[in-house]
Amino acid sequence: MKQVYEALNWASSFLKEHGREENVAQIALGFVLGMDRVQMLANLRQELTEDEWREFKQLILKHVDGEPIQYLIGYEEFYGRKFLVNPNVLIPRPETEELVFGILDRVKKRFNVGGAENGVSRLDCVDIGTGSGAIAVTLKLEMPELNVTATDISVGALVVAENNAKRLGAEIRFVEGDLLTPFVGKERFDIIVSNPPYIPLADRKDLSDVVKDHEPESALFGGLDGLVLYRKMIGQLPKVIKEKALIGFEIGYDQGVAVSNLLKEQFPLAEIEVVQDINGKDRMVFAYVE
């Protein structure tokens, strides 16, 4: 029977041969053995049982056929927490962790949170197109002073997001609806955050089959130029933001100028910044309006 290191070596080579990422081997085996990466490396000589080897091999074969490993094992890690995922939701990406960090950092700088004199004890925040709930849940857990609302047009996605919020102990209000439409003329927010579908339809051919054949298209594509949902959301913003507001969007690597221009047209006096991700690509646009 195979030992841990032999199973990892086989899977890494097999994945590489088939053009898949080798780190999937560690994710899959960690899931089967109930171990994290450190525990696995400390137990490289441990023998797998027949059942463990069979389950591990199945995961690797299914992933090579194109199924995302996160859907196969049922979760993805985000900001140090496990979020349940299934084909109703986009799999959270590391770049989106940077969006969350950017929002938290700017909220601390821009708003006097915590009930201090002249400060605010609560801030109203909305996450548009919440998917798995990764952004909304993380913001609430990292900054409990926020009143967090999360929306999605997909009922299936909201079920996943609500489940994640409950499991992780985040008190969030969930609303079914199209972008900011449920709030127009009814509610206003201090913070608006969104990682909307932003891939242009023409780029579909360049995506990995793991992504385009399995993740929900409604969470990937943003029309012909990828900007359809930004235009709609930014058009709705004046009707849903408070006098002083922070807006944060995740964007495609080549959309920084376009999205910041859309915001400038709507809010000529806003402070707008395009921020790069850890790989040096434009990935976030923040706007501060007052």
So what's the pLDDT on residue 269? 92
Average pLDDT (40-48) is 92
Asked whether residue 226 falls in the same domain as residue 185, the answer is yes
Average pLDDT (111-135) is 79
> In whole numbers, what is the pLDDT of the chain averaged over residues?
89
User: What is the per-residue pLDDT across 72-100, written as a single tens digit (0 to 9) for each?
Assistant: 999 999 999 999 999 889 889 899 999 99
Asked whether residue 238 falls in the same domain as residue 110, the answer is yes
Residue 83 lies in a domain: no
Asked whether residue 120 falls in the same domain as residue 59, the answer is no
Asked whether residue 51 falls in the same domain as residue 106, the answer is no
Asked whether residue 235 falls in the same domain as residue 107, the answer is yes
Boundaries of domain holding 50:
4-65
How long a stretch of residues is the chain? 290
Give the total number of structural domains in the chain. Answer: 2
So what's the pLDDT on residue 204? 64
Binding residue positions for S-adenosyl-L-methionine: 129-133, 152, 195
So what's the pLDDT on residue 114? 55
Banded model confidence at residue 210, pLDDT cuts 50, 70, 90: low
So what's the pLDDT on residue 266? 93
Residue 82 lies in a domain: no
Asked whether residue 46 falls in the same domain as residue 108, the answer is no
Binding residue positions: 129-133, 152, 195-198
Banded model confidence at residue 223, pLDDT cuts 50, 70, 90: low
Binding residue positions for substrate: 195-198
Asked whether residue 29 falls in the same domain as residue 146, the answer is no
Asked whether residue 155 falls in the same domain as residue 285, the answer is yes
Final residue in a domain of this structure, among 31, 65, 99: 65
Asked whether residue 42 falls in the same domain as residue 136, the answer is no
Residue 116 pLDDT exceeds 50: no
User: What is the per-residue pLDDT across 21-43, written as a single tens digit (0 to 9) for each?
Assistant: 999 999 999 999 999 889 998 99
